[in-house]
Amino acid sequence: MSKIDENEILRRLEQLSQIQPSFEATERAINRARLGFKWGTATASYKSNSPSPIFRFAAAAVLLICAGFLAGRLFAPKPINVEQLRAEIETSLKSSLSASCEQIKDELHQQVRRDLAEFATQTVAASTTVTDQRLAELIQLIEDARMRDRFRVAAALEQIELNRLQDKTQLGNGLQGLVAQTSELLRTERN
C-alpha cells in the first residue's frame, strides 16, 4: 500500500473511533440480540455446543457497538478550555480590530485629503470666476469713465474752438472797426 492510502485509512479509522452511538441505538442492538438469542427459552441450537448464526451475529454486533463506544470515549478530544479559548479569541479580535482601525483611520485621512483638495479646487475655480467677473466689471467701468472723459475733452476742445472763433471774429470785427475809425480819422485830418 502506498503512504497516501495508509494515511487515508488512519484518518478514516480515527473518524470512526470518534463516532458515539446514541443510547437508543445501543438499546435497539441489545434488544435485537436478545430476540435472536431468545433468553429464557431453551432451543435445540442453544443446547448444542455451537451457537446459532443469529446469536453469533448479535454478539458480534453488541461487541462492535461496545468497542465503538469505548473507542469513542477513549479517543474523544479533550474538553475545550473555555477561558483559554476566550483569551485567544479576544487577543485575535484585538489584533484584527487594531489593524482594521488603523486601516479605517488611513482611509478616512485619505478621504479627508481628497475632499479638501476637491474643495480647494472648487474654491479656486469659484474665486477665479468671481475675480474674472469683477475684473471685467472694473474694465467696463474704466472704459466708461474714459469715454466720458473723452466726451468732456472733446466738448471742452469744441468750446475752446468756438471761443477762439468768437475771439477771432471779435478781433476781426474790432480790427475792422479800428481800421474804419482810423480811416475816418485820416480822412478827417486830410480834409
109 and 21 within one domain: no
Residue 98 sits in the same domain as residue 150: yes
Q: Which tops the pLDDT comparison, 149 or 8?
A: 149
Among residues 42, 77, 112, the one where a domain terminates is: 77
Using 50, 70 and 90 to split pLDDT, how confident is the model at 3? Answer: low
The domain tally of the chain equals 2
The verdict on 60 and 117 lying in the same domain is no
In which domain, by residue range, is 17 found? 3-77
pLDDT at 45: 45
Q: What residues contact 61, with CB distance under 8 A and at least 6 apart?
A: 29, 32, 33
Of these ranges, 126-130, 162-166, 187-191, the one predicted with the greatest mean pLDDT is 126-130
Res. 101: pLDDT tops 70: yes
Q: Do 71 and 96 sit in the same domain of this protein? A: no
**Could you tell me which residue, 47 or 170, shows the higher pLDDT?**
170
Q: What is the mean pLDDT of residues 37-53?
A: 55
Alpha-carbon gap, residue 88 to 80, rounded angstroms: 12
Is residue 134 domain-shared with residue 48, that is, in the same domain? Answer: no
| Chosen domain end from 48, 77, 106 | 77
**Arithmetic mean of pLDDT, 48-71:** 80
Binned at pLDDT 50, 70 and 90, residue 190 comes out as confident
Last residue of a domain, one of 20, 42, 77: 77
- Tell me: do 122 and 188 sit in the same domain: yes
